[in-house]
Chains A and B, each alone.
Chain A
């Protein structure tokens, strides 16, 4: 049995959905590609870093977030992503991104961060009604 004595500095990243906000060290894991190495005993308890997986489902479409996985390095992350997220031809291209390389907007800012488009209906075509019935407009 491996006791879970992971010190806080090694607490793993959480999947993209819970991206750490800047300045929250507790949610930042070891950098992918640089796993914690040390005594052999230690390496069995170290956590593989977390990667976010983006899949392009067919040519002409953008990559879309599919999920996350753990892997020791980028090459393994790509192979795991292929096995985990494209078992049924779901993709023609995969990106893997170290989870802790992603910066996310602050969830507490909910409204305020996205405030600026509000009350600016004139940015939408539907705001302009006088042209209704006019062809090709």
Chain B
């Protein structure tokens, strides 16, 4: 029972209590280390190092925010989808992203953060989310490029996360990955149809791929030598492969698929390195990445403003639902009392 008092050790503890707390912490650490060594899973009630909890909370909540903000570029095109079928598909995809956000918020909550706090941090501009969603979706072809490249990169990133050492995160990722493959396929199909359409449609598809390619590659995060936290995350079995490793794999897959699309990747330096047995790509603009992440991308302000609006516009619904629930509970209680 005492482990909940472990961190941080309150000053008011007597020397004996402090000793006991230190002993429990050492036992907790030993258990945690064993779980890591066995590549087993940590569950929410287990003891875990404060830094592990903090890292996970940051990563999972940022991931959740990304899913939620990520609804916007596509939701903005629902009313302009070219057919009823495409509209229905796009709505289903955007609804899935909302679901992904909710699965992940639940996982983050198991670490002791309230849902409302996370929402507040996001709309206050205090939380981060994936830089990719701060780029504008300019044409219908962007729905294709986003599904194919952005969801594609997300899948590459997320499949190994299904084995993350933190149980609730891994389970959320399993659910998410099952749903993501439809996202990538519908995007691919949009591009394929445009590519086989009129010259103007084909050009539209190529233009979208040109704009989303580099931002999608940057979704894997900074290069390994500039990613200070990666090492620790890998030691904790949260991350299974390095940023560059995943990026290289992704490039290899895209090289194959872009041929089927009859389009090209906007990167003349893509090649397979026979020595390293890895795919290589041209330089990426990491200054731009940092700028976008710091809130100075093309759509950061718009995205946050929209999220804030949605939250405010939904306030009356939340209030009404709570009031209705309270009324029903009261009625129920009265009936019980009368009976």
Contacts and interface: CB of A to CB of B under 8 A. Distances in A.
B319 A108 contact: no
A84 B102 contact: yes
B127 interface: no
12 contacts: A2-B116, A12-B116, A14-B110, A15-B44, A23-B1, A33-B325, A34-B329, A35-B325, A50-B109, A67-B103, A72-B321, A84-B102
Contacts of B114: 4, 6, 11-12, 47
A84 B67 CA distance: 14
Contact of B115 (A3, A18, A24, A47): A47
B79 interface: no
Nearest to B1: A108
Contact of B43 (A17, A45, A68): A17
Interface residues of A, number: 44
Interface in B307-334: 315, 318-319, 321-326, 328-329, 332
Among the interface residues B110, B321, B325, which one has the most CB atoms of the partner chain A within 10 A? B325
A44 interface: yes
B45 A72 contact: no
B120 A87 contact: no
Given A2-B116, A2-B120, A107-B43, A17 B328 contact: no
B54 to A, nearest CB: 16
Given A2-B116, A4-B120, A18-B44, A69 B319 contact: no
Among the interface residues B99, B324, B326, which one has the most CB atoms of the partner chain A within 10 A? B326
Nearest to A24: B4
Interface in B140-179: 167-168, 171-172, 175, 179
A1 interface: yes
A21 B321 contact: no
Of the four ranges (under 10, 10 to 19, 20 to 34, 35 or more), the interface on chain B belongs to 35 or more
Interface string B29-40: 001000000000
Interface of B: 1-4, 31, 43-46, 92, 95-96, 99, 102-103, 106-107, 109-112, 114-117, 120, 123-124, 167-168, 171-172, 175, 179, 315, 318-319, 321-326, 328-329, 332
Contacts of A83: 95, 99
Given A44-B318, A68-B109, 10 more contacts: A12-B109, A12-B114, A12-B115, A15-B44, A17-B167, A26-B4, A34-B326, A72-B321, A106-B1, A110-B31
B325 A18 contact: no
Contact of B112 (A14, A84, A107): A14
Nearest to A49: B325
A59 B106 CA distance: 28
B99 A15 contact: no
A84 B96 CA distance: 8
Contacts of B172: 67
Given A34-B326, A87-B95, A18 B112 contact: yes
A106 B45 CA distance: 9
Contacts of B319: 40, 43-44
Contacts of A45: 116
A72 to B, nearest CB: 4
Contacts of A37: 322-323, 326
A18 to B, nearest CB: 4
